[in-house]
Amino acid sequence: MPLVQSTYKSPFLFRSAHLQTIYPALFRRVPLITEDRERITTPDGDFLDLDWHIKKYSKRLVILTHGLEGNSRQPYMQGMAKVFSNQGWNVLSWNFRGCSGETNRFLKSYHSGATEELQTILNHVFKREQFTEIALVGFSLGGNVILKYLGDRAKTLDTRIKSAVAISVPCDLKSSSLRLEDSQNLIYMKRFMITLRKKIREKMELFPGHLNDENLDRMKTFRQFDGAYTAPIHGFTSAEDYWTRSSSKPVLKNITIPTLLINAADDPFLPENCYPMALARESERFHLEIPFHGGHAGFVEFGNHKTYWSEGRALNFVEETRGKL
């Protein structure tokens, strides 16, 4: 019955969900761990940029997947990379299309259900033949991609993939998207919309006549943006169709490897539907941990070699569940 009692204790001044969410994004500094960049070609002729930290003696690899409008070099990605690297793991921190600092080649980019991109990464990894043990760690949108991948491909999952950790995941995309329309989340929506609008304008220049810029400047919600752009660009009929078909929650029951979902109870992005407690109680492999505090991808901790709690927790889970398939 893997509904886990959380060990996270928030610093006294960080019991605000918004402070937990905003502080790391603005003020955290982490040295770059995954420094070696590699560009690979996708099956459809686009490209993905991968950042590596390789230890030639190790056969263990952790693959890190970032969140919406993030990239491989975000502090939360490099913080996780540092913790795993210090314990002898190779690290691969990869970028979704259009997130590495260069616009991708095609009209389509990435979305919350883009599990085929993770499969492309894994296929590339498997060709190296160095790694016999692989762990997957994802944040927010990236966490949803990992969970959906594990659920969709449970029966054909490569045996080298041993465990996974997903942090601050909107596993029910519709309810989370609607939650972000709340006035308390206006600051986050504004920030997301700035970069999303920029990318749409770049695509309009590259593909004239393919996108309509009507109301783009007035869009304030994912419901509007996903309906106008994300859905039609990626083959969905509407925002709701995109949310339904891309959410990981319906397939969590299929997961066959030790997997931990960490969603803080005070995460401002996540409504009740994003805490699948009943499923965790019934599952042997899917673990759910709900700290009282932590905000969205926060889990701030001081005095622990500049490591945040979620990073140490992810490493411990992966290490503790080794060989327990």
Taking the CB of residue 218, how many other CB atoms lie within 10 A of it?
Answer: 7
**Which is catalytic among the residues 49, 172, 226, 267?**
267
**Which is catalytic among the residues 100, 140, 177, 283?**
140
Q: Write out the E strands in the chain.
A: 3-4, 36-41, 47-53, 60-65, 90-94, 133-139, 161-167, 259-262, 286-289
Whether 293 sits among the annotated catalytic residues: the reply is: no
Angle at 46 between CA 152 and CA 60, to 5 degrees: 55
Whether 267 sits among the annotated catalytic residues: the reply is: yes
The string of DSSP codes covering 83-111 is: HHHHTT-EEEEE--TT-SSS--SSS----
Whether 296 sits among the annotated catalytic residues: the reply is: yes
What spatial distance separates the first Cα and last Cα of the chain, rounded to whole Å?
A: 16
Q: Judge contact between 268 and 184, C-beta under 8 A.
A: yes
Q: In what order do the strands lie in the sheet with 3-4?
A: 3-4, 286-289, 259-262, 161-167, 133-139, 60-65, 90-94, 47-53, 36-41
The string of DSSP codes covering 208-259 is: TTSS--TTGGG--SHHHHIIIIIHHHTT-SSHHHHHHHH-SGGGGGG--S-E
143/269 Cα distance (integer angstroms):
14
Characterize 227-237 residue by residue with b for buried, 16 or more Cβ atoms within 10 angstroms of its Cβ, and e for exposed.
bbbbbbbbebe
Report CA 40 to chain centroid distance, whole Å.
Answer: 20
Angle at 288 between CA 286 and CA 294, to 5 degrees: 145
Active site residues: 140, 267, 296
